[in-house]
Structure 1
């Protein structure tokens, strides 16, 4: 009997979840900055964090933590 590696489907992968969590954190930071009398530096930090989400997710996917 052979042992196969664990397979992930429908976005249920560590890479996908990490990207979604990072994007969510960035969205919360950007929203808080927007409602704090539009503090643009905080909004921009939130946008930068959101822009990092697909980079981190893609990197993790190429490292083998994404869907097969």
Structure 2
């Protein structure tokens, strides 16, 4: 998030995701799990190291 405009763009995206979760009446972290990608779409292979899903699950189930 160091590029010019990146922080503003990320805030707008996260705000929109929060509003979508509210409109769908689901937890925002559940929405993050739904949209989570286990495979890199550019090369059609799994990510080499990505633990974001585990982080989401840890927050959902303390």
TM-score where L is the length of structure 2 = 0.38
Give the number of the structure whose residues are more often strand, by fraction. Answer: 2
Higher Cα radius of gyration: 1
Q: TM-score, normalised by structure 1?
A: 0.35
